[in-house]
Structure 1
Amino acid sequence: MKITFDFEKPIGELQQQIEKVQQVEEKNKVDMSAALAELRQNLQSKQEEIYGNLNGWQNVQISRHPERPYTLQYIEAMSKDFIELHGDRNIGDDKAIVGGFGSIEGQTVMFIGHQKGANTKMRQYRNFGMANPEGYRKALRLMKMAEKFGKPIITFIDTPGAYPGLEAEERGQGEAIARNLMEMSVLKVPVICVIIGEGASGGALGIGIGDKVYMLKHTWYSVISPESCSSILWRNWDNKEKAAEVLKLTSAEMYKNRLIDGIIEEPLGGAHQDPEAMIATLKQVLVDDLANLKAKNVDEMVNERIEKFCAMGVVIDESEFHLPEASEEETPSE
């Protein structure tokens, strides 16, 4: 059964009309090509109208569509020789974060990303993409391994947040994420980060510091999810749509505020509508960026990465700065 959202109902109705006309054409052996062409044109127009004007909450819904490609689907499609590596060498192997070496167009890279799971059983196995501290420590171990061998790093971000359980806090969730932020900022190899679904809070930031940070068009990136924001401010989830708007969490808002480096277009309707096209588009972006970043001087690359993130959130109010008036002695003569 195809999953659709409320705002997609006009599209679904047109698709049903097309199916009915096709059935009539097949059953009665009559030419319905003109009617079908008109309906398909209407469908295209309606899709462009709806998907071109999504609000914050609607983007959140699309980012969570269960048929969207997940991390392993991207990795396995881009790299036929991917070898997954496990464990943080301390506690265990967190299934919510996957990683390992693979090649992309002949270039060996370290792939790391959140993995949600493609069905209910796998989502439970992957803890719905919510990593424990050992997941972030595993990610850091793999990043340092990539740095040791001079291999670029590509991360795929798709998480509703780091796991908030008591045991995660006891094992140092905050420290693990903070250490990743510090270590990623000075890695001496290229780092490219892509939000492919949900990008929530420190759970996303834990593998989100890179030379290039991209968002797929219908994804979101924020310090908190709309539901959690609503529950804190209004003590319920009823205002999640309002929260999604004020959080400015869409790719367009994030790019406007210079918090990401670019937006990667998705197929009309979202990545789940044409996963192969989405994977091909993303792969080309990664290949181009890897070539550009490899050509950079290492120290220059690291300094630019640090300066980019240090500049975020810095606001200068020019009205607070007043130049001293020049004295008569300092006034230049004509």
Structure 2
Amino acid sequence: MTFLEFEKPIAELEGKIRELRSFAGGSDGVDLSSEVGQLETKLGKLLKETYSDLSPAQKIQVARHPERPHFIDIVEHLFTDFTPLAGDRAFGEDLALLGGLARFRGTACVVMGHEKGSDTDTRIKHNFGMARPEGYRKAIRLMEMADRFNLPVLTLVDTSGAYPGIGAEERGQAEAIARSTDACLQTEVPVVTCIVGEGGSGGAVAIAAGNKVLMMEHAMYSVISPEGCASILWRTNEKAADAASALKITAQDLLKLGVIDSIVPEPLGGAHRDPERAMNLLGDGLERALKDMAGIDGARLKELRREKFLAMGDKGL
């Protein structure tokens, strides 16, 4: 497991536990179960103390942890009969934003989300989760399909932002993001989104304007990355931690502000420590959100979604 900077005491304690277990498993047959048990108890307390008081800057590290579950992992674990649909029918395929038809706990749906990749090759392949215009135009196509066949839409957000390259701008990145956001708002089926890692700028909002917006406990959601904010305001990345605190990017802050509807709890120590349990908790949150909208007709769903986001503007958000 990759340990974060603030997890050094946790890493040292886990190292001691591994050493004792290795020693106890030797030919001497020494019984060290009592010592191991004491250290495991101490580890549990340390994890609880550390993760119950994370700063916004530390939460960003957790949200970006390379071993957090990504879109492909979540789809494989929570969905069945997944049929990926490719291309925007205008330019090409974008592998940073994936989606298709699937079944979620027995319910037919459309699922889409950002895929960052899990190693160097897949990160390059998926462009680190930064979608180009064709990715957002594919999202529009999928939402229109969901509307046509009355299928709920589930979106999983995990991106530092839309790809800012010259080619993307030439192909209308801003227009594609705006139309994707509008497609979220105009559809007459339930739209449930969850920020599972990073939710960065318009690249996130483009598929996150849902009836229910969930956020995993240690995820982040912001109009700009703390590093980007610091470089603009202070001309240095060294102020990124100050920017993270000022931006109110954590799930806890955003729930208070009314930007999100609920927080999906993560296993103690973050989703990267127990990905399977984290994905099960996510599945429970998505299922509850869908059940909350059962029986609401399409026109009312659209109206409620519109009112939800207009209310944020009334609050000055």
* Shift in Å, 1:225: 0.3
Q: Give the aligned partner of residue 116 of structure 1.
A: 116
Please give the alpha-carbon distance, in whole angstroms, between the structure 2 residues aligned to 1:208 and 1:289.
Answer: 14
Larger C-alpha radius of gyration, 1 or 2?
A: 1
Please give the alpha-carbon distance, in whole angstroms, between the structure 1 residues aligned to 2:314 and 2:7.
Answer: 39
Q: Give the aligned partner of residue 96 of structure 2.
A: 96
* Shift in Å, 1:6: 1.5
Please give the alpha-carbon distance, in whole angstroms, between the structure 2 residues aligned to 1:221 and 1:313.
Answer: 17
Q: Given residue 91 of structure 2, which amino acid in structure 1 is its aligned partner?
A: I
* Shift in Å, 1:199: 0.3
* Shift in Å, 1:297: 2.4
Which segment is superposed worse, 82-91 or 167-176?
A: 167-176
CA RMSD of aligned residues (A): 1.2
Secondary structure of the equivalent of 2:90?
coil
Q: Give the aligned partner of residue 280 of structure 2.
A: 280
Please give the alpha-carbon distance, in whole angstroms, between the structure 2 residues aligned to 1:17 and 1:228.
Answer: 39
Please give the alpha-carbon distance, in whole angstroms, between the structure 2 residues aligned to 1:229 and 1:191.
Answer: 30
Please give the alpha-carbon distance, in whole angstroms, between the structure 1 residues aligned to 2:54 and 2:171.
Answer: 40
Please give the alpha-carbon distance, in whole angstroms, between the structure 1 residues aligned to 2:159 and 2:68.
Answer: 13
Please give the alpha-carbon distance, in whole angstroms, between the structure 1 residues aligned to 2:141 and 2:260.
Answer: 25
Secondary structure of the equivalent of 1:294?
coil
Q: Give the aligned partner of residue 47 of structure 2.
A: 47
Q: Give the aligned partner of residue 22 of structure 1.
A: 21
Point out where structure 1 has 5 or more consecutive residues left out of the alignment: 317-334
Kindly, what percent of the aligned residue pairs are identical? 44
1:64 correspondence with 2:80:
no
Q: Give the aligned partner of residue 300 of structure 2.
A: 300
Please give the alpha-carbon distance, in whole angstroms, between the structure 2 residues aligned to 1:306 and 1:112.
Answer: 21
* Shift in Å, 1:63: 0.8
Q: Give the aligned partner of residue 331 of structure 1.
A: none
Q: Given residue 164 of structure 1, which amino acid in structure 2 is its aligned partner?
A: P
Q: Give the aligned partner of residue 311 of structure 2.
A: 311
Point out where structure 2 has 5 or more consecutive residues left out of the alignment: none
* Shift in Å, 1:302: 1.5
Q: Given residue 22 of structure 1, which amino acid in structure 2 is its aligned partner?
A: R
Secondary structure of the equivalent of 2:162?
coil
Q: How many residues align?
A: 315
* Shift in Å, 1:31: 2.0
Which segment is superposed worse, 52-61 or 175-184?
A: 175-184
Q: Given residue 179 of structure 1, which amino acid in structure 2 is its aligned partner?
A: R
Please give the alpha-carbon distance, in whole angstroms, between the structure 1 residues aligned to 2:97 and 2:19.
Answer: 44
Which segment is superposed worse, 51-60 or 178-187?
A: 178-187
Which segment is superposed worse, 50-59 or 273-282?
A: 273-282
Q: Give the aligned partner of residue 323 of structure 1.
A: none
TM-score by length of 1: 0.92
Q: Given residue 156 of structure 2, which amino acid in structure 1 is its aligned partner?
A: F
Q: Given residue 300 of structure 1, which amino acid in structure 2 is its aligned partner?
A: R
Q: Give the aligned partner of residue 233 of structure 1.
A: 233
